[in-house]
Chains A and B, each alone.
Chain A
Amino acid sequence: MKIVVDFDKCTSNAVCMGIAPEVFEVREDNFLYILQEEPPESLRPKMEEAVRMCPTQAISIEG
């Protein structure tokens, strides 16, 4: 599973960070950083939730 963020769409609402801070981090500079591009399978439900809840539909999962 690979996490892909479309940074043209991302506006750093940080909703994903609220759902999975171990994968998504919005820092002081207000940019989103992906902490694990290939998170373990056990995180799939959280990753799918992050995809659904992203206000700008900027997140997708490959694989």
Chain B
Amino acid sequence: MKSIVVVGASLAGLRAVETLRREGFEGRLTLVGAEAHLPYDRPPLSKELLAGEWEHDQVVLRRVPYDDLDLEFRLGVAATSLDVAARRVSLAGGTELEFDGLVIATGSTPRTLPGQPALDGVFTLRTIDDCHAIRERLDAGARVCVIGAGFIGAEVAATCRKRGLDVTVLEALPQPMVRGVGMVLGEVLARLHRNRGVDLRCGVTLESIEGHGRVEHVRLADGERVECDVLLVAVGVGPETRWLESSGLVLDNGVVCDETLLAAPGVVAAGDVARWPNPAFDGEVMRVEHWTNAAEQGVYVGGRLLHDDGDGPPEPFAPVPFVWSDQYDVKIQIAGRFSGQDRMEVVHGSLDDERFVTIFERGGRISGVLGFSEPRRVMQYRRMIAERASFEAALEFAAAAAG
């Protein structure tokens, strides 16, 4: 393999190029990024950076010089198409890059609302430029309305409260994240925000977003109006695969990969775009939009591209997904797979205390864990999930740990 192109210059793409060099790839290595910035870390965009506590230089992802990586950078230029058969990526402006190996790490793009008007003050939050634009409005004392009570919406609401700003959160479902965590934990999440002054309204239907040139208010189906200067649409993301539509790759809510993240010979995907069957969960096909997944997959695909088939089949990518969200003084952590439908048990602390651990059961095994400010415990259960421990064993562990 003489040349490798990595499309996507965020966490997964960076970890991929670092791994390729660490594992001895000496050929031409090109890193393509749609944004003009060097790789930076996204989690702080809804927290420290938005709060005004940190600046850009504190969110750079690589704190040592890039020289060692000997990269050819193509930043501020998006990939527009891929021809797998011809081994060629086309970039905006017409440049074409030929490759022997390709890493697809284009991440995801925020969803917008159907018929969302192009008014000043209406934002999504994905990039550092988005963050700075919103932050400028917060600095000016904006009244904020957030649509969607997922992690991004909740973190932005928490940041606004920390800044002393009024914030309303509108959620279509009866509780925050109810599909993912169920009604009981949804209520706990709702209380976390209401106790700190967020006007959280669940089960509401959005009628329209109105204003003259700039957003003035949101109208709900019951006629209620929510006045705001900033409207953040935080209704999830979709995998950034538009540039791959004519590539010949199989796309289905992401780039469809095998259990080694291979999408085609010499073509791998990593991060939010990759959809793969995870052997750690009986081959459940998943696409994971979290930081840790992007980091782990970036490292993995670097090794995967260099794998010599003469050494036997490569180890599959089989992690226990993990995500954290810091809201106010609470660290929410989730590992594994579960939904609001699965059996849940509180194994440490109490749901009333903002410090607890719940575990989830699927098929007799512990499949997931959710903790509030219990990182030690969450990691212990994450390990049990990886070891495919029975739910009974997890309950016994909990009882023993509780003394």
Within 8 A of B (CB), among A2-41: 11-15, 17-18, 25-28, 30
Residue ranges of B at the interface with A (Cβ–Cβ < 8 Å): 15, 18, 41, 43, 61, 63, 291-292, 295-296, 299, 322, 324, 326, 331, 333, 373-376, 378-379, 382-383
Which of A17, A30, A52 contacts B373, CB < 8 Å? A30
Which of B41, B295, B373, B378 contacts A53, CB < 8 Å? B295
- The 9 tightest CB contacts between A and B, nearest first, are A14-B375, A14-B379, A18-B379, A26-B376, A12-B375, A26-B375, A17-B379, A13-B324, A53-B295
Which of B43, B292, B326, B331 contacts A15, CB < 8 Å? B292
Q: Give the number of chain A interface residues (Cβ < 8 Å).
A: 16
* Residues B376 and A30 in contact, CB atoms below 8 Å apart: yes
Q: Which residues of A contact B373 (CB under 8 A)?
A: 30
* Residues A55 and B292 in contact, CB atoms below 8 Å apart: yes
Which of B291, B379, B383 contacts A55, CB < 8 Å? B291
* 12 residue pairs from A and B, CB less than 8 Å apart: A11-B326, A11-B331, A12-B375, A13-B324, A13-B331, A17-B376, A26-B376, A30-B331, A30-B376, A55-B43, A55-B292, A57-B61
* Residues A27 and B383 in contact, CB atoms below 8 Å apart: no
Closest CB-CB distance, B286 to chain A, in whole Å? 19
Looking across the interface, which residue of chain B has its beta carbon closest to that of A54?
B295
* Residues A18 and B382 in contact, CB atoms below 8 Å apart: yes
| Contact flag A52-B299 (CB < 8 Å), given A13-B375, A30-B375, A57-B63 | yes
* Residues B375 and A52 in contact, CB atoms below 8 Å apart: no
Closest CB-CB distance, A18 to chain B, in whole Å? 4
* Residues A14 and B291 in contact, CB atoms below 8 Å apart: no
Looking across the interface, which residue of chain A has its beta carbon closest to that of B371?
A14
* Residues A28 and B333 in contact, CB atoms below 8 Å apart: no
Closest CB-CB distance, B155 to chain A, in whole Å? 13
Closest CB-CB distance, B248 to chain A, in whole Å? 32
How far is A15 from B295 in the complex, measured between Cα atoms in Å? Answer: 12
B-side binding surface: helix, strand, loop or mixed? Answer: helix
Closest CB-CB distance, A13 to chain B, in whole Å? 5
Closest CB-CB distance, B151 to chain A, in whole Å? 14
Residue ranges of A at the interface with B (Cβ–Cβ < 8 Å): 11-15, 17-18, 25-28, 30, 52-53, 55, 57
| Contact flag A53-B296 (CB < 8 Å), given A13-B333, A30-B375 | yes
How far is A3 from B263 in the complex, measured between Cα atoms in Å? Answer: 37
How far is A15 from B319 in the complex, measured between Cα atoms in Å? Answer: 13
Q: Which residues of A contact B378 (CB under 8 A)?
A: 14
Q: Which residues of B contact A15 (CB under 8 A)?
A: 292, 322, 379
Looking across the interface, which residue of chain B has its beta carbon closest to that of A28?
B376
Looking across the interface, which residue of chain B has its beta carbon closest to that of A60?
B63
Q: Which residues of B contact A26 (CB under 8 A)?
A: 375-376, 379
How far is A52 from B63 in the complex, measured between Cα atoms in Å? Answer: 12
How far is A15 from B379 in the complex, measured between Cα atoms in Å? Answer: 7
Q: Which residues of A contact B18 (CB under 8 A)?
A: 52
Looking across the interface, which residue of chain B has its beta carbon closest to that of A19?
B379
| Contact flag A14-B376 (CB < 8 Å), given A52-B15, A52-B295, A53-B292 | yes
Closest CB-CB distance, B63 to chain A, in whole Å? 7
* Residues A18 and B383 in contact, CB atoms below 8 Å apart: yes
How far is A57 from B18 in the complex, measured between Cα atoms in Å? Answer: 15
How far is A28 from B291 in the complex, measured between Cα atoms in Å? Answer: 25
- Given contacts A14-B376, A18-B379, A57-B63, 4 further A-B pairs with CB under 8 A are A11-B331, A13-B331, A14-B379, A52-B295
Q: Which residues of B contact A27 (CB under 8 A)?
A: 376
* Residues B41 and A57 in contact, CB atoms below 8 Å apart: yes
How far is A28 from B61 in the complex, measured between Cα atoms in Å? Answer: 30
Closest CB-CB distance, A56 to chain B, in whole Å? 8
Interface centre among A27, A53, A55 (most CB of B within 10 A): A55
Closest CB-CB distance, B81 to chain A, in whole Å? 31
Q: Which residues of B contact A11 (CB under 8 A)?
A: 326, 331
How far is A31 from B274 in the complex, measured between Cα atoms in Å? Answer: 34
How far is A25 from B383 in the complex, measured between Cα atoms in Å? Answer: 14
